[in-house]
Amino acid sequence: MAPTDQALAAIIDHTILRPEATAADIERYCEEALSHDFKAVCVNPIHVARVVERLKSSGVLTCSVVGFPLGAAPTELKCAEASWAIANGAAEIDMVISIGDLKAGNYDAVRDEIAALKSACGPVCLKVILETSLLTDDEIVVGCRLAQDAGADFVKTSTGFAAQGAIVSHVALMRRTVGPSMGVKASGGIGTRELALQLIAAGASRIGSSNSLKLVG
């Protein structure tokens, strides 16, 4: 059975990560999230304090991205960025892995970085962005296992900045790999309710979209 609008909204991260986003844009996304009871508003770190203030006393969370969108910052900087966002009120962190390390087979480095980020986050939810469109299926499996071994809370498909975002087959592969106990977030290019429902059926437990209003009616 397809979820109701309310149930779908409850797993949507309403996302605005455009570099040209203004304060007025951020305020509008917060208003939309409050009106529809979305799970979270996901923003770049510079906007975290504004979103936290706007969403206070509501059930909508503030999510910040780290190492975004390339994942190419040193671990120490990603940890500092996460710690700063959390200190300013972020309740969830979406980090981008070192994609080059994963593709080069430097698995200990990838695992250690995710573990360091999870240590920096403490009880705050950590979602690990793999950027699946740049990976083979085997690399997606390895990335998921590394994130799981490192104690992350979610694996996530995409930043939305690569050539392709979430696709059903990748989400299904991620869910098969991590099993039922870990979150799977589908994001990137999700602009229709039909696609969102297909991704949920494939195993996504969270949806990230900048077009959330099109997903809930």
Active-site annotation, residues: 94, 156, 185
Q: Closest by alpha carbon to 127, among 194, 68, 201, 193?
A: 68
Exposure class string for 113-131: b at 16+ Cβ within 10 A, else e: bbbbbbebbeebbbbbbbb
> Which residue carries 């309403």 as its tokens?
14
> Is residue 15 exposed (0-12), middle (13-18) or buried (19+ Cβ within 10 Å)?
buried
Residue pair 165/192 in contact by the 8 Å Cβ criterion: no
Instruction: Give the angle subtended at the CA of 203 by the CAs of 197 and 206, to the nearest 5°.
Output: 70
